[in-house]
Structure formats: structure tokens, C-alpha cells
A and B are shown apart, each in its own frame.
Chain A
Amino acid sequence: MASTTVAAPEGRKGGTRPSGRPSARRGGVASWLLPLAPALFLMLVFFAGPIIWTVWVSFTNAALTGVNAAQPEFVGLANFTELFADPKFREATLLTVVFLLGSGVVGQTVLGLGLALLLQNRHPAARMVVSTVVVGAWVVPEVVAGLLWVVFLEREGGLNGVFEFLGAAPVNWLYTAPLFAVILANVWKGTAFSMMTYSAGLSEIPSYLKEAARVDGASTLQVVWHIVLPLLRRTIATTLMLVTLQTVQVFTLIYVMTAGGPGERSTTLPLLMYKEALQFGDLGYGTTVALALLIVAGLFSAAYVKMLRPEEVR
């Protein structure tokens, strides 16, 4: 297949190519630029453009309305100093980290991996029922998931029904514990993705390794800890990375469930960005929050690319 040209130095011209891909000269520049043009145009205009603009605006005092909307001035690092001094931003960062750790790392990864492990070697019918329900939660659109969880967490809702059944006092979840509520909902919505990637990863671990360990007298937990998890390390790393990128940008679910409230108690960074830029019209501040979010996500994304690097890009 095409892998024969992996070692060929890039940009080499002439007909000595061992096999495989033709050089770009065949048919001239148009042969590659023409098909690439629409993609490049769309991504430059709608993706690269806004990102560059974000960087620029976060150094100005741009606003949606008023004098600053027409003639934004360069304010240097004022937005950033304002941002880091702002308790709202620190609060939102903290809430985002808790949301990420709670729903992305602890919830989805532990639950997803646990489900994948428990589902191994179970009866096919059980596997099907469990994965249908869990994946069902994942397929439901985000707005619907948010609305369903509002209903589920109401004072008269389903979760308090379970609590009553267990003999505990009902809780007004969305009011008393808004962050916990959105974490629960996000775990419900996102676990399927982790479960599926871990199931795929688990199915690639050769069973003779586990059998050999068992023959040596290892318990189930020991097999999981010493054989399965180390072999699954790469899958865990990439999945965790993708889940992190997903989780830091969750807006819809939180907005639908709590709109960041009550007060600011579930205002994560995306919610803060939206409120500041579009509700209060402070584009410079909101965009600076967006830039902070982009930088954090960019670091994770770069790490993700680095992890995939060896075999994927050729």
C-alpha cells in the first residue's frame, strides 16, 4: 500500500520515485491546489481567522456597543491583568477544573473503564443491553440531555425518587449542588465514548497474556492492575486527552441546566466567556477568557498530536 513511500524524502522531484504516489508536478500546481482550495478557504475564514482575531482583540478594549465598538484601542496586557485579578475568572477556572476532574477524569474514565472491564466475557445479551442504554444516553442531543436532567433532578424528580426509596431526604439538586448536578449529567452523557474506546482497546489485548498470569496464580484484580492497565496505557492517554478537550468546552449542557447559576456557582469558563462577551457586551474580556480556554485546550491538543505522531501521519 501507500506505506512504501513513507521513507521517501518530501518534495523530491523527478521520476526516480520507487513506487506509489505521483509527484505534484503531474498536471501542475492546479492539480493539488484546486481541490485543496475550498477546504483551505473555509478553514482560513471560519477557523484560523477567528483565532487570530481572538489574539488581537484580547489586547484591545473592543465592545459590542458604544464608542469602543467602532474604534477599539490597543490596551496591551490590561485585559490579562484584569482577568487574573478578577475573582470571577479565578472562580470560573476552579469550577472548570472541578468539572473536568469530576466528570471527565473521575466520572467518565473510571466509570467508562470499569464498564468496559465488567462487560468483558459477559453474556452477549447483557453486553448488548448495557451498551445500548449507555450509548443511548450518548446519542441523545445535548440540549435534550440537559432538559432531561433538569427534570430528573427536580425536587419531585427521578433521583429524589431513588433517594426516597432508599429512605434518604430529597435534595433540590440544581439549587443546592449545581456543579455536582452538571457533573452527574455530563458523566451520564459522556461515559459511552470512554466505554467504547476502552472496550476497543481491551479487545486488542491478547488473551494468552491474561491466561498466563492467571495460571501463575494472579487474582482478577492483579491481572487488571499488572497486565491489562499497563497494556491499555496508550488508549487511556489518548481517550483522557479527547475527554479533556471535550469537557473543558461543555457549554450547552450547563447552560440548559443551570445557566451558570444559581449566582455564579456553576459558571465554568465557557459560561463566563458567553456571559461577559454577549450578555454584558464586554468583547475584550470575553475574548480574553476564550483565549485562555484556547491556550489550555491547545496545550492538550498538542500533547494529543504528539502522542499520535509516530505512526499516524505519513
Chain B
Amino acid sequence: MTAEQPGRPRRGPGASLATAGRPGRTLPKAITSPTRAAASTVAYAVLAAVTIVFLLPLLWVLFASVNAEPSLRATPPSQFTLEHFEAVLTPETMFIPLWNSVLLSGGAAVTTVVVSVLAAYPLSRFNLRFKRPLLYTMLFATGLPVTAIMVPVYSMFVQANLLDSRGATTLFLAASSLPFGIWLMKNFLDGIPVELEEAAWVDGASSWQSLRLLVVPLAAPGMAVVGIFTLVMTWGNFFVPFLLLKSPDYLPAAVRIYSSFGQYGAIQYGALAAYSLIYSLPVILVYIAASRALGSKFTMGGALKG
């Protein structure tokens, strides 16, 4: 913006020619000009309006969860109370489903990280004949909708007698995040100089040793991204456990909140808000911590941008 002031060294030769040809044309567009100020005001007004609309549903949760007489509007609580939290913080409604969520998403995240590091290593380091098609297939698979294969997966689970098995559900969740995990891990390992490993090989280390002692420690941030990504995705996943798990004791919080407060459930707004808060809090905290620790790389844009 400052380039419009005369005499700035940043101006290219073409730019000065153009200004010279039409003196005065660009001057009103300086940052202090009324049109720019007006444009800036409009921009802030639009941003404020959008932010308020985005904020309203979120505000409702915060207010209704501590409001003694919660309504459907996002109004500040008339009387502060914690009874909604007390009401939902019981083993049956909250603790068991949360623990099931921890088991499912933790298991899926650990499996995904371990399996994708193992798979990404040879894909990054060796010249394998089938590597190219495999990587393309993997990238292709990241785009395939998991929703679309859920019906066949359900039938498979029925036929293999795996329905209501937490282990199999965890493995399926891990498998569905593997294409993305391996792809990310492979790109991450590509960034670690192979010279380090060559030095280790010269010193007599095997591939396995160099993977374990050298690559894994260096790849820790990449593993964290894959793990956190899987964790957040599976924590919020509703459809997979909704179809594959049946007994109420196994249901994670995602399904439990729907069966308790869903369309035909009781209309307890305070309890719904309190439950939503507690259930969402872990992912929000993990997201904040991860974006702090890993910087903008984690904000998905970096991971997926073309």
C-alpha cells in the first residue's frame, strides 16, 4: 500500500511509467483516502456481522449450560447454576461413553500412527517398482467417502460376526484414516535427509535400527500431526460407531449424545448444552494445543493445500 507514495524504492520501472503517464490518478487511492477508509469500515462491518452469526449457536451452548431456566435463545443466564453439569456427569450418561470414546479414538490414533510410519518408511526410502501406483491409489483413497462404504462394511461385519466388536471398529476407524496418514507421513519422511541414515548404516545399523533410533525421533512432529488428526476425526465420528456398535455399554459419547438428546429425545436444553460442552472440550483443547505447538502447519490448510 505504501508503494503509492512517490519515491519509494519498491516501485518497479513499469509502475513509475504508468504513474508518470497519468499523474494524479493513483493519488486518491492512498491509504488515508476517504474511499479506502470507507472500504475498510465496510469490511469490518461485514466481518462483524458474519462473526456474530457464527457466534450465536456457540454462545447458546455457553449460556444455556449454566442457565437455571435455559431457553432456546442465546440469552445470558438469569440465574447461574451448575445443575445441568451435575445432571449429566453420571457414569451411565457421561463417563462410560467418554471412556468408550477414549478407547475408540485413542486406539485408532495409535494404530494409525504406528502403521503409517512403518508403511511410509519404505515408501519414502526405497525405490520400489509399485510405489508410484500405490501412492496414487493412496491419494485417491483419501478422497473416497467413508460414508459410501459403510453399508458394505456393515454387511461384512454382520457376516464375519464382528458387529458390536470394539476391536474391529477401532481397526476400521484406523484403516479409514490410513491413506491420509501414510500420505502425510511419507511426505514428512521425505523431508528428513537420507544422509543421516546413511551415516548410521556406515556405522553398521540395520534399516530397522535406523528407523527405530533415528527416523522415528526425527519424525515425531509428523507422527503427532497424524495422531492428533486421527484422534480429532474419530472423536467426532458418529456414523461408524452408530452402525457398528450396538450394546449401550460400548457406545461412545458421539452416539450417546444423539440417543439422549436427538430428534425425538427429551428436550432438556440445559443438559444438552452441558453435555455438548464436555464432549467437545477435549477436541477443542487438543486443537488449540496442537495449533500452538505445531504452528500454522497443523491448521489443515497446510496439510491438504494443493
Binding site for B on A (CB under 8 A): 1-2, 5, 8, 10-12, 17, 20-24, 26-27, 31-32, 35-36, 38-40, 42-43, 45-47, 49-51, 53-54, 57, 62, 64, 111, 114-115, 118-119, 121-122, 126, 129-130, 133-137, 139-144, 147-152, 154, 156-159, 161-162, 188, 191, 193, 196-197, 199-201, 208, 211-212, 214-217, 219-220, 234-235, 237-239, 241-242, 245, 248-252, 255-256, 259, 270, 273-274, 277-278, 283, 286-287, 290-291, 293-294, 297-298, 300-302, 304-305, 307-308, 312-314
Task: Provide 28 A-B residue pairs closer than 8 Å at the C-beta atoms, listed in order of the A residue.
Answer: A5-B127, A11-B127, A21-B127, A40-B119, A42-B174, A49-B156, A51-B152, A53-B152, A134-B54, A141-B279, A142-B236, A143-B254, A143-B258, A148-B60, A149-B57, A151-B269, A156-B73, A159-B56, A208-B10, A215-B15, A235-B305, A239-B305, A255-B239, A256-B238, A277-B154, A290-B152, A301-B143, A308-B306
Which chain B residue shows the least CB distance to A20? B194
Q: Which residues of B contact A53 (CB under 8 A)?
A: 152, 155-156
Q: How far is the CA of A15 from the CA of B10 in the complex (A)?
A: 52
- What's the nearest-Cβ distance from chain B to residue A30, in Å? 10
A249-B145, A294-B144 in contact; A42/B115 too (CB < 8 A)?
yes
Q: Which residues of B contact A43 (CB under 8 A)?
A: 141, 175, 178-179
In order of increasing CB-CB distance, the 6 nearest A-B pairs are A301-B143, A238-B306, A249-B145, A141-B236, A39-B119, A46-B175
A115 touches B47 (CB 8 A): yes
Query: Is B266's CB within 8 Å of the partner chain A?
Result: no
Q: How far is the CA of A36 from the CA of B122 in the complex (A)?
A: 7
A35-B119, A217-B18 in contact; A50/B207 too (CB < 8 A)?
no
A147 touches B1 (CB 8 A): no
B141 touches A47 (CB 8 A): yes
Q: How far is the CA of A35 from the CA of B185 in the complex (A)?
A: 14
A50-B156, A197-B305, A293-B147 in contact; A141/B43 too (CB < 8 A)?
no
B58 touches A133 (CB 8 A): yes
Binding site for A on B (CB under 8 A): 1, 3-4, 10-12, 14-15, 18-19, 22, 25-26, 29, 39, 43-44, 46-47, 50-51, 53-58, 60-61, 71-74, 111, 114-116, 118-119, 121-129, 131-132, 135-136, 139-156, 158, 171-172, 174-176, 178-179, 182, 187, 190-191, 193-194, 201, 206-208, 211, 232, 235-236, 238-239, 243, 254-255, 257-258, 261-263, 269, 272, 276, 279-280, 283-284, 287, 296, 299-302, 304-306
B43 touches A137 (CB 8 A): no
Q: How far is the CA of A2 from the CA of B131 in the complex (A)?
A: 15
Chain A interface SS verdict (over half): helix
Q: How far is the CA of A6 from the CA of B299 in the complex (A)?
A: 29
A136-B58, A238-B305 in contact; A290/B149 too (CB < 8 A)?
yes
B144 touches A301 (CB 8 A): yes
Q: Which residues of A contact B280 (CB under 8 A)?
A: 139-141, 144
Q: Which residues of A contact B29 (CB under 8 A)?
A: 214, 217, 219
Q: Which residues of A contact B146 (CB under 8 A)?
A: 249
Q: Which residues of B contact A199 (CB under 8 A)?
A: 301
A35-B119, A143-B238, A143-B257 in contact; A196/B299 too (CB < 8 A)?
yes
Q: Which residues of B contact A287 (CB under 8 A)?
A: 151-152, 155
Q: How far is the CA of A121 from the CA of B206 in the complex (A)?
A: 52
Q: How far is the CA of A143 from the CA of B208 in the complex (A)?
A: 42
A35-B118, A38-B119, A215-B11 in contact; A130/B276 too (CB < 8 A)?
no
A297 touches B284 (CB 8 A): no
Q: Which residues of B contact A45 (CB under 8 A)?
A: 175
Q: How far is the CA of A302 from the CA of B143 in the complex (A)?
A: 8
Q: Which residues of A contact B194 (CB under 8 A)?
A: 1-2, 20-21
B176 touches A142 (CB 8 A): no
B276 touches A147 (CB 8 A): yes
